[in-house]
Amino acid sequence: MLNLSPGEVSLSQLEQIWREQLPIKLDAAAHDRIAASAVRVEKAAKGPDAIYGVNTGFGKLASIRIAPEDTETLQRNLVLSHCSGVGSSTPRAIARLMMVLKLISLGRGASGIRPETVTLLEDMLEHGVTPVVPAQGSVGASGDLAPLAHMAAAMIGEGEAEWQGEVLPGGVALEKAGLAPVILGPKEGLALINGTQFSTAHALAGLFNAWHAAQTSLVSASLSIDAAMASTAPLIDEIHALRGHPGQISAAAVMRALLDGSEIREAHRDDDPRVQDPYCMRCQPQVVGAAMDMIIQAGETLRREANAATDNPIVLTSEDRIVSGGNFHAEPVAFAADMIALAMAEIGSISQRRIALLVDPTLSFDLPPFLAADAGLNSGMMIAEVTSAALMSENKHLANPCSTDSTPTSANQEDHVSMAAHGARRLGPMAQNLFQILGIELFCAIEGTRFREPLKTSAALSGVCDRFYRDIGPLTEDRFLAPDLERSAQMVAGHDLLGATGIAFPGIEENFRD
């Protein structure tokens, strides 16, 4: 159980919540702010003035006044009518992260929701009641309406929710967990469905995967350098200091540490016949370092968004006003998702070129064709390289920007939208493709270093090889490769390989500069 202070939640906390699916509680100060804003909304609901979403219709129907006695029906109808999502269900870990992000946003005290409604969300996380949220239906403004409506539906005992591995009607899931549905008060349905939490949850998962992939690619690239007997001179620190980009400097430093003490490198340091290596070997710090800088920038945006009040209208308790605004527009999330997608595509692109180099006997400096023992009789990694090319190309297609798209909705009332939701959702498949590419590179590079025996790679990289061979045996002859490729991708997605190096890898927030 984590205790969170809205406005101050860190990316490391959010990553822990996502990876471990932890429950959370908001701190006492947040509950005080929530209660104060609820009082303001209750007062407005009984007053003479028209307040959007409190005593009016929604969207294009905002000019229609709603009678006080219909307030509960108004909010319930809003939630049910907006449950219009389609497609596959959102992964449980991301749905729970979305719930946490909604709690953080509500905890800013600008939404007018009652403390008991917030407590139900906390209790659902603690007792494992996860709303079933269809993945498609949001355009990223007026918030993630459809996905968040499916979350809210479970809270009122409608829709569906997963509990202990079983998908049940929302009310049944709550009952089995010992919880009761909430009857929505003034503005509460609107507060629950307005916001960017669905898009932001997907974008954060993409962010964490992208950073992990970038760090792992420094390991796979270092092994490829040794396997190909490439030069480490391009890693000299002064080269990177002269350019000044922090990601590039950091990437080169990690690679120097990973390759330190390699017998393979020392064996050809003074008699290397090549003047320069291909870019995929020589420019890893420049390419992946730039991707790291972009991921860091996206991380700063998403950390702010995770802590933001993205409801509408906003309750300004300091001014005793309820004001319509546009914080639900997910343009910052859309831009961040596009940046992460570009970074993923480029990390995979340069990795794939190293795979191609290692299997090509004209480029790989005396390695056997396709890294095959008894080449000809065996094909080795020939088609694994083709698979990596297919995945690389797919990620290039997926990396096309989504934020440049827009379409008017809601009878032209909501006439510019961010497309953040599908911009962020595509990061999941892209991450899986990238883990597969890096897994294939690791397989090729580790096999390449085996062909350099009795010379050994560095102690740090030997630890990676040992960990790899615990799950996947050396490729001494052709075999059914698909299970090995899947296991290698799973190892990349996990943290064992980085841990096996004994090298400290920086987290995203360690690089924040604000």
Which positions are catalytic?
A: 52
Which amino acid, residue 398? L
Of 402, 295, 277, 276, nearest to 338 by C-alpha is 402
| Cβ-contact 38, 113 below 8 angstroms | yes
**Three-class DSSP category at 112:** coil
Which residues have a Cβ under 8 Å from the Cβ of 34 and sit 6 or more positions away? 26, 106, 107, 109, 111, 113, 114, 115, 118
User: CA angle at residue 255 from 252 to 256, to 5 degrees?
Assistant: 85
Of 84, 80, 51, nearest to 68 by C-alpha is 51
Residue with tokens 């080269």: 239
Give CA–CA dist 428/194, Å, rounded: 24
Q: From residue 259, how far is each of 232, 250, 291, 364 by CA, in Å?
A: 8, 14, 21, 18
User: CA angle at residue 202 from 199 to 203, to 5 degrees?
Assistant: 80
Furthest-apart CA pair in the chain: how many Å?
87
Give CA–CA dist 443/445, Å, rounded: 6
Of 293, 295, 286, 327, nearest to 310 by C-alpha is 327
Give CA–CA dist 244/307, Å, rounded: 31
Give CA–CA dist 93/73, Å, rounded: 32
Of 282, 291, 281, 285, nearest to 212 by C-alpha is 291
Give CA–CA dist 293/282, Å, rounded: 19
